[in-house]
Amino acid sequence: MPFMFLDPRRPLPTCSAKTCEGCRVGVQCHFRATDLIAFFAVFLPTILVGGMGAYLAGIWWLGLWVILLTGYFGFIEIRVLCSHCPHYAEAGPTLRCWANHGMPRLWRYRPGPMSISEKIVFLGGLVVCFGYPIPLLLIGAEWFLLVLYLSTLFGFAMTLNRSFCARCMNIACPFNGVDEQVRTDFLGRNPIIAQAWNGFNGRDPE
Ligand code: SF4
Ligand code: SF4
């Protein structure tokens, strides 16, 4: 599905290289359908089990969770996290990456680090979204679903950490796991981002 993703030979809009062929920078700048499928293979079980728990508590609880997830992953996370990602600098009205594929690009690209307030909103939103089914399962004494939900959530977090965050190009994310050398190599190729980070004084940039 080449139309769904950036041409793997074409550098990111932030990158100063003429081509990606032969590049040894250790981050993943391009995505394939298999990346998107892998992401949803670990994300969907968590959502389905959590959704089942919310549904058993009442259809309105499920509806509220759907609204929360849509608002957070469709808009809030895109603003506070993805707008700092080099992938966000691509042309087009929607993102075409391995996780938030199809989400709208409504804001300008911000190449610098996330502010403290953005980190609070990002992390707080994750806690609210993924914590939501837990009290419903506890109150409903749905012990099997509770264990299943926590297991799928743990599996999702571990897989993200090991397989996605360890090679993610968004160095602004608090969960980014690339090492210092990779980060330095990536900044060397992406002067717009390097400039934004060099001007960062460690305080909230807003
Ligand atoms: S760092 Fe630049 S040249 Fe290397 S893969 Fe990423 S976009 Fe391509
Ligand atoms: S931060 Fe992740 S989900 Fe957001 S645009 Fe970048 S690669 Fe996609």
Which residue, among 171, 167, 174, has the nearest Cα to 192 in the 3D structure?
171
Instruction: Return the residue matching tokens 């990002």.
Output: 122
Nearest CA to ligand 2 atom 4: 82
What's the pTM value of the predicted model, to 2 decimals? 0.91
Query: H helices of the chain, where?
Result: 33-57, 59-71, 77-80, 116-131, 133-139, 143-159, 180-189, 191-198
Pull the structure tokens for residue 162.
Answer: 């090991």
Q: Which amino acid is it at 46? A: T
Taking the C-alpha atoms of residue 68 and residue 112, their distance in angstroms, rounded to an integer, is 27
Nearest CA to ligand 1 atom 7: 11
Q: Is 93 a member of any domain?
A: yes
Taking the C-alpha atoms of residue 146 and residue 140, their distance in angstroms, rounded to an integer, is 10
Taking the C-alpha atoms of residue 206 and residue 196, their distance in angstroms, rounded to an integer, is 13
191 Cα distance to chain centroid: 23
Q: Is 201 a member of any domain?
A: no
Pull the structure tokens for residue 10.
Answer: 């074409």
- Atom from ligand 1 closest to the CA of residue 23: 4
Q: Is 130 a member of any domain?
A: yes
Q: Is 206 a member of any domain?
A: no
Paired with 104 in beta bridges are: 94
Q: Is 204 a member of any domain?
A: no
- Atom from ligand 2 closest to the CA of residue 97: 8
* CB neighbourhood size of 158 (10 A): 11
- Atom from ligand 2 closest to the CA of residue 84: 1
Q: Is 192 a member of any domain?
A: yes
**Structural domain of 108:** 27-196
Backbone torsion region of residue 173, taken as left when φ is above 0, otherwise alpha when ψ lies between -120 and 50, otherwise beta: beta
Query: What is residue 78's three-state secondary structure?
Result: helix
Ligand nearest to the CA of 101: 2
pLDDT computed for residue 4 by the predictor: 84
Q: Is 166 a member of any domain?
A: yes
Angle value at C-alpha 182, between 178 and 186, nearest 5 degrees:
110
Paired with 168 in beta bridges are: 28
Q: Is 127 a member of any domain?
A: yes
Ligand nearest to the CA of 185: 1
Best residue for ligand 1 mutational test, from 12, 31, 185 (most atoms within 8 Å of Cβ): 12
In the structure, which protein residues have their CB atom closer than 6 angstroms to any atom of ligand 2?
Answer: 81-82, 85, 87-88, 95, 97, 99-100, 170
- Atom from ligand 2 closest to the CA of residue 86: 6
Exposure string (b/e) for 179-199, b if CB count within 10 Å is 16 or more? eeebbebbbebbebbbebbee
Based on the structure, what is the number of domains in the chain?
1
pLDDT tens across the length of the chain (206 residues): 556 888 888 999 999 999 999 999 989 999 999 999 999 999 999 999 999 999 999 999 999 999 999 999 999 999 999 999 999 999 889 999 899 999 999 999 999 999 999 999 999 999 999 999 999 999 999 999 999 999 999 999 999 999 999 999 999 999 999 999 999 999 999 999 999 998 765 454 44
Best residue for ligand 2 mutational test, from 75, 78, 118, 170 (most atoms within 8 Å of Cβ): 170
